[in-house]
Structure 1
Amino acid sequence: MSKEFAFTIKSICFDENYHPSNNTRITTNFANLARGASRQENLRNTLQMINNRFNSLAHWDNPNADRYALELEIISVDIDVEGKGETFPTIEILKTNILDRKTNKRIDGIVGNNFSSYVRDYDFSVLLLEHNKDQATFSTPENYGELHGKIFQSFVNSETYSNNFNKAPVICLSVSTTKTYHRTANQHPILGVEYEQDAYSLTDEYFAKMGLEVRYFMPANSVAPLAFYFRGDLLNDYTDLELISTISTMESFQKIYRPEIYNANSPAGKCYQPSLKHQDYSLTRIVYDREERSQLAVKQGKFTEEQFIKRYQNILDQWAANYAVV
C-alpha cells in the first residue's frame, strides 16, 4: 500500500470583483482575464456570455431567457506530500452553481469544467519539450503523465473530495487541432451531436491516465464540438441543468481563448479538423493574451520542477510505483 497524500481545498468566487490571489497559478485563464485595464469589463462580459448561453440552452419555462444565472467558484487544491503541513498548489478546477430566479433556489452544478495543474505545466512545457529537443520524430517520455494522473485520481478518491462534492468531475476542453472529427448520427438533447475520431490526441491520452474517458459533442447553435472528460456515464449521471452549466461556461471561455475554432462564422461540418489558422471568425469584446499564457506555462513548469518534482523526487517515485489505481 502507498501512503496517501493529504489534500486541502480553497475556493474563491469568480465574479467581476475577482482578483487573482498571490499564490494562484499565474498561467490560469482566470488570472489572465482578470489583469490589466480591462479586467472588470472582461469579467463582467464573460459572466454575461455564460448566463446568456445557459438561458438559451435551458429554454423551457424560460420565455424571457433570463431565468437562470451561474455563480462560479475557483477551487484550488493543495497537496501535502510529507505529512508535515507544508503544501504545494496542485490543481485548479471550476465549480458551477445555478441560481434559479423563478424559484429562488441555488442548485449545485458540476465540479471540474476548466482544468489547470502545475504538474501538467511541467509535463507539457518542460519535460515533453526537453525530451523532444533535437529529435527527428516526436515521442513521449517513459511513464509520461503517470504521476500527474495518479495524483489526480488520488484527489478524486479522497475524503477531501467526497466531503465537498457529490459527483465525479467533468472537464470540458477544446478539441485537438491535430485530429479530424467525424459527425455521428447520435444526438443528445442537451450535449447535442456527437463526433468521433480515429485516434486519441496527446491530451486525450494524458487525461486517460487521470482515469477519465472522453466523448465529443457539439451542442445546439455551437460551431465546434467540445471534448468532455468524465468518469462513469456522462449522459446519465448528470442532470440537464448540470450539463448546461458546463457547456455554457466552457464554450464561453473557449470563444475567448480559441475564437478561430469556437467563434467561427460557420459551424463544423460532417468531417471537421479544428485549426487556429482559420481566418473566418469573430472576436469577442474580451481581452485575452494567449501568447502570454504560453510563455508563463514554461515558467510555471520550471517552478514545479524545482519546488515539487526534484524536491520530493524519491517520495513521489515510490508513491507512484505503489499507488493502486481504482
Structure 2
Amino acid sequence: MKSGVLKKSGTNKKKAIECLQDTTKNTIVFKIKSNYFNENYIPSSNTRATTNFANLARGENRQENLRNTIQMINNRFNSLAKWDNPNDDRYSVELEIISVEIDIDGSGTTFPSIEVLKTHINDHKTGKRIEGIVGNNFSSYVRDYDFSVLLSEHNKGKENYSIPDNFGELHGNIFKCFVKSEAYKKNFTKAPVICLSVSSNKIYNRTGNHHPVLGFEYLSSKSSLTEEYFEKMGLKVRYFIPPNSVAPFAFYFSGDLLADYTNLELISTISTMETFQKIYRPEIYNANAVAGQCYNPSLKNQDHSLTKISYDREERTGLGIEQGKFAEQHFITPNKNFLEQWSANFTM
C-alpha cells in the first residue's frame, strides 16, 4: 500500500509550515499541505483511500462523480442561504483539502496524521471570497488503527466486549496538539468543526430548540464510543437537523457552536457534509421519510433513494482495516516508546 509511507519532507510543497509543540522536552513538528477538491482532483499518495473525497476520485467516472458532488454542494448551499438570493445561484463553495503530517523527532521524516476540509464561499453578487470552516470531514490513519486493529485485537476471543485502557488518548493528544500549534494558528482563525453521521445504535429525541440554519436540536441520553473518542480530542457534540434535511447530524466542536460561527460558515459545513452523507449513508441521509420526534437511524432502511454517485461499502470497510495495519507498522510500532511517553506527559 503506497498511501501513508513515511518519507522525508521536500521543499516544494504547496504549503508546508512547521509548528513546535514542546511538552516533554521532545519536539513535534506539524507540516501542512493543501490541495483543492475539484473535478481535476487527484488524491495524493498520503490520502486514505476511504476518505470521502478521495473515494469519489476513483474509477472511470471520477470526473463525473466530482462534478456532480460539487454541484450538489452548491445547490444545497444556495437552498439554505435564501436571503438576497432570488435565483438560488449567488454562492458557490470551494473545498480545500488540508493534509497534516507529523514529524515526531524533528528529523524531517513524516507520517500523515490528520486530514480535514476547509470551506471557502464565493459570493458572486459582491465578488467576495469568504472564509468558511475548517474541519467538516475528518480522516486519520491513527483512528483507523485504534478502531480497526487495536479494538479488534483487544476483544479477540473474549466473551465480553470491552475497551482498552487509554483508548484514543494518543490520537486525541495529537489532535489537541495540532489545534494549539503555531501551524494551526497561522493558517486558521477559528477552531475546527467536524460534522459526522448520527449513530445507528442510539435514539435521538427532538427538542424545541431551533436555530435558523442548523434547525431543530436533537438530544440523546446515551453516549457512544465515537463521542468518547472525540471527547479525548477536546470536542463536544450537539445534534441538529437542518431545514429540509431528513436526519440530524452530529456536530463536534470545542467552543460555542451557535455563537462562534456565522450563518454562512455553518451553511458551508452543512452543504458539504450532507452531500457526502447522501452518497455514503443514503439509508439515513437520503431517506424518503423525515426523522420524527423520536428518531433511531438505521443503515438497514430500505425506503431511501440513491444518488448518481455510488461506492463499494464493503471495499471501504476492508481498506479501513488495511490502513489501520499500515499505521501500526509504520507509525505506532516503531515509535511505541516515544509516543507512550509523549502522550502520558502531554498537557494543553
- TM-score of the superposition, structure 1-length normalised? 0.98
The reply on whether 1:100 has 2:137 as its aligned counterpart is: no
Deviation at 1:289, TM superposition (A): 1.9
Moved over 2 A (4+): none
Letter in 1 for 2:189: N
CA distance in 1, matches of 2:158, 2:82: 52
Letter in 1 for 2:182: E
Deviations, residues 47-93 of structure 1 (Å, cap 9, x unaligned): 00000000000000000000000000110000001111111001110
CA distance in 2, matches of 1:186, 1:136: 42
CA distance in 2, matches of 1:84, 1:193: 49
CA distance in 2, matches of 1:180, 1:79: 37
Letter in 2 for 1:204: E
CA contact (8 A) 1:93 1:114 kept: yes
- TM-score of the superposition, structure 2-length normalised? 0.92
CA distance in 2, matches of 1:137, 1:193: 37
CA contact (8 A) 2:27 2:105 kept: no
Q: Show the 5 A alignment for 1:242-281.
A: 242-281=265-304
Q: What is the match of residue 62 of structure 1?
A: 85
Identity %: 70
Deviations, residues 203-256 of structure 1 (Å, cap 9, x unaligned): 111000000010000000000000000011000000000000000000110000
CA distance in 2, matches of 1:41, 1:126: 34
CA distance in 2, matches of 1:289, 1:110: 29
Q: What is the match of residue 109 of structure 2?
A: 86
Alignment gaps of 5+ in structure 1: none
Q: What is the match of residue 293 of structure 1?
A: 316
Deviations, residues 271-307 of structure 1 (Å, cap 9, x unaligned): 1110000000000001222221111010000010010
Deviation at 1:138, TM superposition (A): 1.7
Alignment gaps of 5+ in structure 2: 1-22
Q: What is the match of residue 147 of structure 1?
A: 170
Q: 1:196 aligns with which of 193, 197, 219?
A: 219
CA distance in 2, matches of 1:188, 1:4: 43
Q: What is the match of residue 241 of structure 1?
A: 264
- What is the total number of aligned residue pairs between the two structures? 325
Deviation at 1:26, TM superposition (A): 1.8
Letter in 2 for 1:27: T
CA distance in 2, matches of 1:95, 1:153: 18
Q: Per chain length, whose mean CA-contact separation is higher, i.e. which structure has more relative contact order (CA < 8 Å, sep 6+)?
A: 1
Q: Say which is worse superposed, 2-11 or 148-157, in terms of deviation.
A: 2-11
Deviation at 1:29, TM superposition (A): 1.7
Q: Say which is worse superposed, 1-10 or 215-224, in terms of deviation.
A: 1-10
The reply on whether 1:130 has 2:142 as its aligned counterpart is: no
Q: Provide the aligned C-alpha RMSD in A.
A: 0.8
Q: 1:167 aligns with which of 183, 190, 209?
A: 190
CA distance in 2, matches of 1:202, 1:57: 32
CA contact (8 A) 2:193 2:252 kept: yes
Letter in 1 for 2:295: Y
CA distance in 1, matches of 2:93, 2:110: 31
